Structure 1
């Protein structure tokens, strides 16, 4: 009897270890959430096995139509997987509204009802709420949503009359449940017009990639700022990591041991990328990447190969209906 019990324990242990090993070794693939045009038709998704060549899902058609906000746009879609196992998405709903869009999904196909979060409603002079992103802090089990806003009369030292006089700074709020939010606060004031931030964490340091939106003299490039805290302490921005072209909408992924920052060369109507193994020295690899025609900026994230297979099957069925 003891031998049988011991044998059962060994077999069960082997099954558990094998299952754990298989789950840990299941390949991941890269997903890219993006918009096209002005964001009128909603969310688009593409996938990549190598982080360089990207293929559109759903034959390049939108996978989710926008319903939130007055203008019903879905620009700058940012998707992350949260601590609850669900996918959380925020986006720009309008050029001029004081809210951002939010929705959640378990499978990237079926989304709950879209709604707006009025993060700048308290600011009478707020002109917009642009390019929101989410960062999930694992240690504190909390989400930080951050975006860029121009508030009339603020930061006159960097005010320009070009491009409708926008003069952004970065703001944030935190939440644990997407129902209750901390008061909106200033996240980053670099001393210039700043937009399009995205954050990664590496070696206990928070690294934020931002666009220098200065128009006079024109900058329009991607820079880096760092902090030991998620929601404060970001220092002086680095020199540009992108080239002479105008770039916006950075998003970051680690691919085969190197960091790749994807961005929108919006004047040239193409996607670009720079790569680095140390987050200090950057090489332009724009000629090595391929995105679906018409791709505008968004966010990169990972899913399992099983999830990708399910997505492809579901969208294939929808296409054939």
Structure 2
């Protein structure tokens, strides 16, 4: 078993009401950033009557898919997103309150690689000890990894790449973060105790897998273990986002063929319970991320 070598900390939290925000997109994502809130992590209400908080302005396609927002060590909220189906960069902006945002930037994280076909679903993880942010995403580079190449689904064959930064002005060189031996997208990394847990989508099309898996590392930038077995019997799911509360792992995912969300939970990352019938979310919600905010921050969002 993959996780027999690792102990998962209790990470127990108070059962009192929390304040969570879910960032997401709708439709073709051209109307931008949407937010919902929850006090229990299961039932979500759209903020601003379902209207957009920020419209995309960068890249030729001007999309804002897969928005990932984290709270940084500098007190700002930092967001990255997918700007296009086939561009070689990502979008970035920051905010103090999730309402007023900085000028949007296009970061050409794969600009050096002329054979890169895309940069999908970027995410950020902050390492408080080193004060470094790691931005990571999925890209297909034409000609690489022929052993997992399929001509189906536009012949995409992704691996996970990353850069690091301290200030979102200067960035490290782009490096490979994870090659699990299969076509992989939608990685999201959560630290628990001394370990980093990477949740991802196995994008294998022949034979079809399309399920979620986990890998583990002692360092944010790896190396990560081989991927686990699928977390559930769900196929055709993507965009995992993870919430840790009351000693449990709650993993949301986009059931994109069914146009709705699902969720599973676990105490030990081995045994998973399907809790899809216990969640409620705004209609048309698509791949996003969850973060905790203060009561004051949430009240201001509610007034928008």
TM-score over 0.5 for the alignment?
yes
2:27 counterpart of 1:45: no
Q: Report the Cα distance in structure 2 between the residues aligned to 1:242 and 1:199, rounded to whole angstroms.
A: 19
Taking structure 1 as the reference length, the TM-score comes to 0.89
Mapping 1:249-268, distance limit 5 Å: 249-268=239-258
Mapping 1:87-106, distance limit 5 Å: 87-106=77-96
- Show structure 2 runs of 5+ residues with no match: 1-13
CA displacement, residues 11-59 of structure 1 (integer Å, 9 cap, x when unaligned): xxxxxxxxxxxxx999641110000012111000000010000000011
Mapping 1:53-202, distance limit 5 Å: 53-202=43-192
- Show structure 1 runs of 5+ residues with no match: 1-23, 316-321
Superposed CA RMSD: 1.3
More helix by share: 1
SS of the residue corresponding to residue 297 of structure 1 reads strand
Name the structure 2 match of 1:10: none
Q: How many residues align?
A: 291
2:196 counterpart of 1:227: no
Question: Are 2:15 and 2:246, in contact at CA under 8 Å, matched by a contact in 1?
Answer: no
Larger Rg: 1
Residue from 246, 265, 280 that aligns with 1:290: 280
Name the structure 1 match of 2:208: 218
Pairwise CA distance, 1:140: 0.4
CA displacement, residues 128-162 of structure 1 (integer Å, 9 cap, x when unaligned): 00000000000000100000000000000000000
Question: Are 1:247 and 1:264, in contact at CA under 8 Å, matched by a contact in 2?
Answer: yes
Q: Report the Cα distance in structure 1 between the residues aligned to 2:185 and 2:65, rounded to whole angstroms.
A: 14
2:302 counterpart of 1:312: yes
Residue from 287, 290, 293 that aligns with 1:300: 290
Residue from 238, 241, 245 that aligns with 1:248: 238
